[in-house]
Every structure is written in structure tokens, then in C-alpha cells.
């Protein structure tokens, strides 16, 4: 079977040239509206920046039911420490490497730029027969599905939706976890350093990170947890005082890097260095199967007088809080969905400067009651540390409908094209289907996508042949959907 990805990849290249961090989708939104106008389609944009493009049916297909193709505009902005890429203004330039596409030391943005490209390609290719289409492009998905949450009742007309934000070709996603975020804050007293003290810099780097839903069960190290464990090991030796702490980047990314500056008596430096070296060996052995490039380094920082530091007691309180907060898999789904994570937490982001500590934790679960429970655990640890905390309303789980007519049609078309049934999956990651389904009752939905590896990290890669196969499937589905018995 001959499959084509060239048109889709051309759209993806044009999308990648436009910076689109979460919450900053103004340029890509305008570009979509200009594209719709040039193509003769009906483009609408709501107050939040979500874009809906109405596409008329092909000839002889006007009787088909309206189908909504949905994707999101924004991308996770992650880069390696040596990258100078500025996501606010620099374009992403995809690099072809055999059958794979990747970026130069940054996230590629195939999540979800390739979904946008697929819908634009299918809608504008005269060779693809289809009924009336509705292309829905949402904003700010990566910050917590907030763009989808703002959709008004009259913005989406279809009641059959294909979400293009899954990450493994050959499968249909029919359910996903719900998620909530907890923000923790505490203001600590600071004190000037003794002139004889030293300022030391601890660096944790080289970790793989990854998507906090898809990769949370891969056993990868959290840079924040590694930094906290290392600092605690030094605290047993020296009355160290934290001055600065910075780790992680986004609620839905496992932290890859962390850096701390602490003050300690000069005579304890060599013992701290020995403790760090010993723990580094242990942790490199501990994470040998997942984070082979893990590095923990201790070096001298500038004059400690420039770093107002916490008291020793406040430092201990901070480190105990970071150690106590849950991170990783809390419970697996069990025999009904073997191998699937039911509930997890991601200790996503920490900053400390001038005595002000802020922590961001992200929780997910397939079960509403367990989502409430894991959030309660995070809040309990924060409360024991006498920190303030606030958990957002988040988004609900998307409960699977295995009897869906849309799913049955997808399976028939997939089997006819490829000679086998597709996988039917439930994801631990969050999808906008959860929000859209709650806003538009009765919506039939499936999610699919081409194969990509390591989303939400600079290792993100897109499998080019899978893009072509998915395009072939979607074109066949759209040409037959109106003939479903």
C-alpha cells in the first residue's frame, strides 16, 4: 500500500516555523485564520484564542454527518542546557534522521503540531473525499487543557470528534486520566552569611525527563528528588543553608535538571564533596536502566555575601518537604487494564529565591476518588511543613465507551486497510477529550496519532512512515463515515 506524508510534513514545517509556547498562541492563531480565508473556509476565533475552521463537504458527500478533527496549537518548550533556542521567537527547524524527525536539542513540537498538520492537509487536499468537517484548534493545552475548558456551547457543532493528539500509530485511545495541579508556597526567614563561609553550587543534569503521564512508569529519575537527596546527605555533615534552588520546567514534564546554591562552613567543603561523589555513584547505579547520563556536580559559587540564605532549620524543613512529597506511580490499574498506571504524582517544579519557596506538583488518575486522594496526600505533606497550598479544579477523567459506533467504524476501516484490528487503549496522560466530552454531552470521540517517542523532552522524535499510514487511515475513514450502517 502506497502512503504519502509529504503534504502533511510540509504543513508541519510551516507550523514549526511559528513560535507557540503555551498561552502565547496569538501568531499561530492568526496564521490559521489567514490559511482558512485563503482556502475559502469559514474561520472563527473565540475570546480565548481557540480557532474553528468550517470545511464544506466534497462533491456527493454533503449528506455525511459533520466530523470534528481536533488538535491543540501550543507545544511543550524544553531544551538541553547547552541550547540557546528562544521559544518565544525562534522557529523550530525539523531535522530528518532516517525514518525519524527531530529538532536540534529542543522539543520538536510534534505534540501536537503534527495533529494540526494532518487536519489541515486532509481538509485542503481535493483528492480526499469527505463530508462536512470542522477543524478545531485549541490553545494552552499543555498548561492544563485550559483552552478547551473555555469553549462555549455554540462553538463546536459536530457530535463526532477525532482527537489527533495520541502518540502511537495503530491504536485508538478511548479514555484518559483526569488531572489536577497543586501549588505550594512558603516564605522563610533569611540571614546574612558569615564572611568565612563558602557558597557551593550543586548541579543535577543529564536526566532523560519525559512526559509526566506517558513516561511516569519508566522509572526515570526526578532531578528535584535527586537534588533533595544529595543536599540532605550534605546536611548530615555540615549545617548547610540553602540560598537558591531551581528545578523542573513544566507541570507535565518529569524534571531533567536542577541547581542549588548553599552556604556551608569552609572546613566542611571536602567532606561535602566526598558525600556528593559517593551518592552520585549510588544514584548512577540506581538509575542505570533509565538515566545513564545522570550527573551530580559540586563546585564553588561566587561570594556568599550575594546570596541571602535560609536558616539551617528552614533549610531542613524545605528539604524534608521535597523528600516527603509523592513522585511517581502511586497505583497501577490492575487486572482490568494491565500495565496501565491508575494514579501518579509528578513533583514538577521548584524555585527558591530570597527566602520564597514555590513548588508545583501535578497529579493524575483514572479514578476521580483516587485523584482526590493523591491530591490530599500532596496537601497533607505541605500542611505538615506549614506551607500554604492550593489545588486547582483540574479536568475530569475521560471514561471509555467501548460500544461507540465511531470506534466500531474506526476498527472496520483499519482492518480493511491493514489487515488487523487496532489496539484500543486508555492513557494515563490527559487529553482534551475529557474536557470536550464534559462540555458537549453525547459527543462520540476517539483519539489517534502517529508514533512519536519521548514527547515533552528534547529527545522528542516523530516516525515519518507512521504519519503516512495515519493519513491514509483518516482519509479512508472520512470517505466512508457517512455510510456507517
If one compares 195 and 349, the residue with the highest pLDDT of the two is 349
- Residue 3 has a pLDDT of 58
Give the mean pLDDT of 22-26. 96
CA-based torsion, 441, 50, 360, 16: positive or negative: positive
- CB distance 328 to 255 below 8 Å: no
Q: What is the CA angle 195-197-199, rounded to 5?
A: 115
- Residue 140 has a pLDDT of 96
d(CA 294, CA 221): 9
| Closest alpha carbon to 198 in 239, 143, 144, 150 | 239
Give the mean pLDDT of 203-224. 94
- Residue 336 has a pLDDT of 64
Torsion (CA) 367, 371, 374, 378 in degrees, nearest 10: 170
Residue 45 has pLDDT above 60, yes or no: yes
d(CA 33, CA 42): 9
Residue 324 has pLDDT above 90, yes or no: yes
Residue 90 falls in the annotated catalytic set: no
Give the mean pLDDT of 61-85. 95
Show the domains of the chain with their CATH numbers: 6-177+397-483 (3.40.630.10), 180-391 (3.30.70.360)
Take residue 229 and report the three cell numbers written for it.
537527596
Mean pLDDT of the chain, nearest integer: 94
- Predicted model pTM: 0.78
* Residue 34, SS3 per DSSP: helix
Residue 485 has pLDDT above 70, yes or no: no
Take residue 95 and report the three cell numbers written for it.
531535522
Q: What percent of the chain has pLDDT over 90?
A: 85
- Residue 144 has a pLDDT of 80
Residue 467 has pLDDT above 70, yes or no: yes
Residue 484 has pLDDT above 60, yes or no: no
Residue 99 falls in the annotated catalytic set: no
d(CA 274, CA 428): 40
- Residue 2 has a pLDDT of 45
If one compares 23 and 192, the residue with the highest pLDDT of the two is 23
Residue 193 has pLDDT above 90, yes or no: no
Identify the weakest region by mean pLDDT among 169-173, 304-308, 413-417: 304-308
Identify the weakest region by mean pLDDT among 74-83, 296-305, 460-469: 296-305
Instruction: List CB contacts of 234: < 8 A, sequence separation 6 or more.
Output: 240, 262, 264, 272, 275, 276
Take residue 31 and report the three cell numbers written for it.
496564521
Give the mean pLDDT of 374-401. 95
Q: What is the pLDDT of residues 227-241, one digit of tens each?
A: 999 999 999 888 899
Give the mean pLDDT of 428-440. 92
Give the mean pLDDT of 381-392. 97
Identify the weakest region by mean pLDDT among 165-169, 189-193, 253-257, 339-343: 189-193
- Residue 303 has a pLDDT of 75
- Position 1 confidence tier, pLDDT thresholds 50, 70, 90: very low
Identify the weakest region by mean pLDDT among 15-19, 158-162, 237-241, 333-337: 333-337
- Residue 429 has a pLDDT of 86
* Residue 190, SS3 per DSSP: strand
Catalytic residue selected from 78, 140, 141, 197? 141
Amino acid at each position: 500500500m502506497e502512503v504519502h506524508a509529504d503534504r502533511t510534513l510540509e504543513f508541519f514545517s510551516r507550523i514549526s516555523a511559528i513560535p507557540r509556547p503555551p498561552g502565547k498562541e496569538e501568531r499561530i492563531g492568526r496564521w490559521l485564520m489567514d490559511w482558512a480565508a485563503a482556502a475559502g473556509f469559514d474561520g472563527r476565533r473565540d475570546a480565548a484564542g481557540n480557532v474553528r475552521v468550517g470545511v464544506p463537504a466534497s462533491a456527493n458527500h454533503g449528506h455525511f454527518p459533520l466530523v470534528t478533527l481536533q488538535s491543540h496549537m501550543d507545544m511543550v518548550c524544553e531544551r538541553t542546557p547547552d541550547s540557546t533556542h528562544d521559544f518565544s521567537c525562534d522557529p523550530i527547524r525539523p531535522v530528518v534522521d532516517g525514518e525519524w524527525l527531530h529538532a536540534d536539542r529542543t522539543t520538536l513540537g510534534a505534540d501536537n503540531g503534527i495533529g494540526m498538520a494532518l487536519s489541515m492537509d486532509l481538509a485542503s487536499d481535493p483528492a480526499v473525499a469527505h463530508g462536512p468537517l470542522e477543524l478545531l484548534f485549541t490553545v494552552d493545552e499543555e498548561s492544563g487543557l485550559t483552552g478547551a475548558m473555555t469553549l462555549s456551547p455554540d462553538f463546536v457543532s459536530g457530535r463526532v470528534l477525532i482527537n489527533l493528539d495520541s502518540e502511537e500509530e495503530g491504536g485508538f485511545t478511548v479514555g484518559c486520566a483526569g488531572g489536577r495541579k497543586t501549588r505550594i508556597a512558603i516564605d522563610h526567614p533569611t540571614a546574612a552569611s558569615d564572611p568565612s563561609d563558602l557558597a557551593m553550587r550543586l548541579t543535577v543534569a543529564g536526566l532523560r525527563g519525559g512526559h509526566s503521564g506517558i513516561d511516569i512508569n519508566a522509572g526515570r529519575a526526578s532531578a528535584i528528588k535527586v537534588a533533595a537527596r544529595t543536599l540532605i546527605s550534605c546536611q548530615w555533615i555540615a549545617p548547610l543553608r540553602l540560598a537558591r534552588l531551581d528545578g523542573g520546567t513544566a507541570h507535565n514534564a518529569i524534571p531533567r535538571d536542577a541547581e542549588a546554591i548553599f552556604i556551608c562552613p569552609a572546613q566542611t567543603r571536602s567532606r561535602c564533596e566526598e558525600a556528593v561523589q559517593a551518592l552520585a555513584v549510588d544514584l548512577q547505579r540506581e538509575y542505570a536502566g533509565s538515566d545513564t547520563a545522570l550527573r551530580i556536580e559540586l563546585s564553588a559559587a561566587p561570594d556568599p555575601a550575594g546570596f541571602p540564605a535560609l536558616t539551617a532549620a528552614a533549610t531542613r524543613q524545605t528539604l524534608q518537604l521535597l523528600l516527603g512529597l509523592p513522585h511517581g506511580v502511586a497505583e497501577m490499574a490492575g487486572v482490568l487494564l494491565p500495565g496501565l498506571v491508575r494514579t501518579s504524582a509528578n513533583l514538577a517544579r521548584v524555585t527558591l529565591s530570597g527566602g520564597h519557596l514555590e513548588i508545583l506538583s501535578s497529579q493524575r488518575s483514572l479514578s476521580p476518588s483516587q485523584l482526590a486522594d493523591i491530591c490530599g496526600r500532596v496537601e497533607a505533606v505541605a500542611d505538615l511543613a506549614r506551607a500554604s497550598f492550593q489545588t486547582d479544579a483540574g479536568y475530569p477523567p475521560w471514561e471509555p465507551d467501548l460500544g461507540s459506533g465511531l470506534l466500531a467504524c474506526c476498527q472496520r476501516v483499519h482492518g480493511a486497510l491493514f489487515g488487523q484490528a487496532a489496539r484500543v487503549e486508555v492513557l494515563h496522560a490527559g487529553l482534551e477529550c475529557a474536557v470536550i466530552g464534559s462540555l458537549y454531552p453525547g459527543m462520540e470521540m476517539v483519539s489517534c496519532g502517529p508514533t512519536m517517542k519521548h514527547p515533552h523532552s528534547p529527545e522528542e522524535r516523530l516516525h515519518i512512515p507512521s504519519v503516512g499510514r495515519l493519513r491514509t487511515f483518516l482519509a479512508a475513514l472520512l470517505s466512508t463515515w457517512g455510510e456507517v450502517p
